[in-house]
Structure 1
Amino acid sequence: ANAKHSDIKQPGHIFPLVAKPGGVLKRAGHTEAGVDLARMAGCEPAAVIVEIMNEDGTMARRPELEVFAKKHNLRIGTIADLIEYRALHEQSVRFTGTFPIDTRWGQFTLTTFEDLVDGQIQYALHKGDLTSPDLPVRIQPINTLRDVLGTTLPEGSQGWSYESAMAFIAEQGRGLVIMLGGWESSETIMRNIAELAGQLEAEVPPQNYRVIGTGAQILRHLGVTTMKVMSAPIKFNAISGFQLEVSGFIARPAAE
């Protein structure tokens, strides 16, 4: 409250920056994080970003910043924290329509949603009573190599594809597949191609809170309460806030 301009060592450099619309849900950058944090605090969506330096003049990274925060009794947060909070607490999809469609696995209902962050269309294909307990559910970002070209990716050789999930649901007579668009970049596709060619070691991607948040909002809109997730066992954080319960997991049948 008693800060004044003379408290800041000068001369300094000021670089005006513009945050992307959608904030950290659109771009996981410090500019977007600063503006998001100010907005979430009920303040003007503007921020001053200060870079903390080490004694040797290099930029302080997270390990050094944690020591700095403890020394000066400061709270510390990360861009990942903001992404998780916003994805799990803000409405980021809008219902756009629902109608029956014919597929190679029989008739399904297609329900579509618009992503309010980037305008992408999200797809939910379902059959049967979605409010029934232990509903088979598969949620996945659309992967060009796996879902369009039909290849088996190294890290997902035993995992569910769009086709195997649809076939399983058709056989069961009930279930839901959510296909999320807009998650691939050219860089992601090129890396997947390199992994497929054996030029790069396959990586298991970290848990993506935007995927979880978007998928959970769609599940809630469709009336799903308890579900069996079509995947290997994985811990889903914070979905209880959406009144959703994972009652189990379904491994892909050995023979597809």
Structure 2
Amino acid sequence: MVRPESLPQAVERLKRGGTAVLIVDNTREPYGVIMQAARDVTASSVNLWATEFRGVICVAIGEKTANRLSLPPMPGRTSGADSPEFLVSVEARRGVSTGISAPDRMATLHILADESATETDIVSPGHIFPVLVRNSGVLGRASEAEGAHDLVRIATGADAAAYCHILNVEGLLAGSSELVSISTSHDIPIVYLSDLVHYRMENELFVHVVSEGVVPTDHGPFRVLLYKNELDGLVHPVLIKGEMDDNTPVLARIHSQCLTGDVFHSWRCDCGDQLSGALTAIREHGSGVIIYLRQEGRGIGLPNKVRAYALQDRGKDTVDANLELGFDADHRSFVAAAQIFRDLGIKKLRLMTNNAQKIAEMFDFGLDVVERIALPTPPRNENLGYLRTKKDRLGHLLDLKHD
């Protein structure tokens, strides 16, 4: 799955203190960054990046480093799962002049990479732009900061990765062919973000079972496993009926928690009806799996979900309500589900879903969705607008015939 010329060569070069070109290839128009472990950046590197690659020099740091240096978020930054978490710009407190020169910026990067440095060693604002990377890395947000940080961590174990967007002579993000040309002319290995995601999915397992038992239900008994995600601490219940083998596609549902729909049977959404439909289908089939992901309100949490309800009552649809609260239209991640399937030995799915994006993500994480099984639910006057928004704005595969 990983291109032979991609990840191993880049990791080896980074181990030796060199640079790599990371191509972000999960977008409609791929773009790239030049990157290096922050501790290995030289003044010559900074000068080359500034003059030939032309982008802003940033440094991706982990939560441990951000906390140790007491770096707050950049004021007014854009929020959302797809937005980089910029922290305040910084400068080394000592050993620099204006902070803008190549040696000065190198010194600042070295301070950020120094595990003994504290908040007393930096000042703000400055000419280096830190970006916070969560522990999940590219498995939580697949973009350049997370990619650079993951690569440096894999290659060197360090917690700070310097990177610079590569612009062409017109000042636009360089495209794939230009990035390949730059890689060739400077003898810099290329690594693709998609390869890094697949590498981590195939080589790391960050979920594990913390308890298990049997739950009798209206749909018969289910074995229940509680999986803890080590990246965020969340515990996800998994209901299993029957036996499974490696060669037979498994009837499965990835269900995001919805307290109001699943427990209180709210008519605002179709979540409870979908969960009930999945349980019924598994009972009738005789086997199957339901992964119940703890990501209430499409990932924004129960308090914000109820705030979104209030906005909807004032005329916003479910997408615009999320956006007004500062979240993405869909703030969820299905990485944990893919990891749970992997731990269960499941490789092929008959996935019960109306969400095309969920299918695409399972494919991205190396699972084979051999069949999509629709979960039709009867529209009600109370949720018809919600369902239309899911179909028209979120791409859900729904048939909304309604009297």
> What TM-score, normalized to structure 2?
0.47
Corresponding position of 1:142: 257
Q: Report the counterpart of residue 181 of structure 1 in structure 2.
A: 294
Picking from 360, 363, 388, the partner of 1:236 is 360
Select which of 287, 311, 317 maps to 1:201: 317
Segments of structure 2 that go 5 or more residues without pairing to the other structure are: 1-17, 19-40, 51-97, 101-126, 184-189, 320-327, 380-403
Q: How does 1:115-130 map to 2 (within 5 A)?
A: 115-130=229-244
Structure 2 counterpart of 1:216: 338
Equivalent in 283, 305, 327 of residue 170 of structure 1: 283
Distance 1:30 1:181 in 2: 27
Whole-angstrom CA distance in 2 between matches of 1:205 and 1:30 = 21
Q: 1:117 to 1:201 in 2, by over 3 A?
A: same
Q: Please give the residue correspondences for 1:240-255 in structure 2 after superposition, counting only pairs within 5 Å.
A: 242=366, 244-252=367-375
Summarize the alignment of residues 1-256 of structure 1 with structure 2, pairs less than 5 Å apart.
5=43, 8=47, 11-12=99-100, 13-14=127-128, 19-25=133-139, 32-42=146-156, 44-50=158-164, 64-66=172-174, 70=178, 73-74=181-182, 81=194, 84-85=197-198, 88-89=201-202, 90-131=204-245, 133-151=248-266, 161-182=274-295, 184-186=299-301, 189=305, 193=309, 197=313, 199-203=315-319, 210-211=333-334, 213-232=335-354, 234=356, 235-236=359-360, 239=363, 242=366, 244-252=367-375
Q: What one-letter code is carried by the residue in structure 2 that aligns with 1:250?
A: I
* TM-score of the two chains, using structure 1 as the length reference: 0.69
Report the Cα distance in structure 2 between the residues aligned to 1:228 and 1:71, rounded to whole angstroms: 39
SS at match of 1:130: coil
Q: Deviations over 1:24-68 (max 9, x none)?
A: 445677654432231234463322244678999xxx7xxx21359
**CA contact 2:166–2:174 (8 Å) conserved in 1:** no
CA distance in 2: counterparts of 1:197 and 1:53, whole angstroms: 45
Give 5+ residue unaligned stretches, structure 1. Answer: none
C-alpha contact (below 8 Å) 1:87/1:214 kept by paired residues: no
Q: Is the 8 A contact 2:225 2:239 kept in 1?
A: yes
Change (3 A) 1:42 1:231: same
> Structure 1 residue 19: deviation in Å?
4.1
Quote the Cα distance in structure 2 between the aligned partners of 1:149 and 1:74: 58
Q: Number of matched residues?
A: 243
Paired with 1:71 and 1:218, the residues of 2 have a C-alpha distance of 36
Contact 2:149–2:160 (Cα < 8 Å) also in 1: yes
Say if 1:126 and 1:23 are closer, same or farther in 2 by CA, change over 3 A: same
More strand by share: 2
Percent identical: 23
SS at the partner of 1:44? coil
Q: Distance in 2 between matches of 1:250 and 1:21?
A: 34
Query: What is the Cα deviation at residue 196 of structure 1?
Result: 5.6
Deviation of 1:143 (Å): 3.1
The 8 Å contact of residues 350 and 373 in structure 2, kept in 1 or not, is answered as yes
Contact 2:165 2:173 in 1 (8 A): no
Q: Which of structures 1 and 2 has the bigger CA Rg?
A: 2
| Alignment partners' CA distance in 2, 1:74 and 1:91 | 35
Pick closer, same or farther for the CA change 1:17–1:226 going to 2, 3 Å.
closer
- Residue 322 of structure 2 is matched in structure 1 by none
Tell me which protein shows more helix as a share of its residues.
2
Q: Alignment RMSD, CA only? A: 4.4
SS of residue in 2 equivalent to 1:178: strand
Matches of 1:182 and 1:83, distance apart in 2: 25
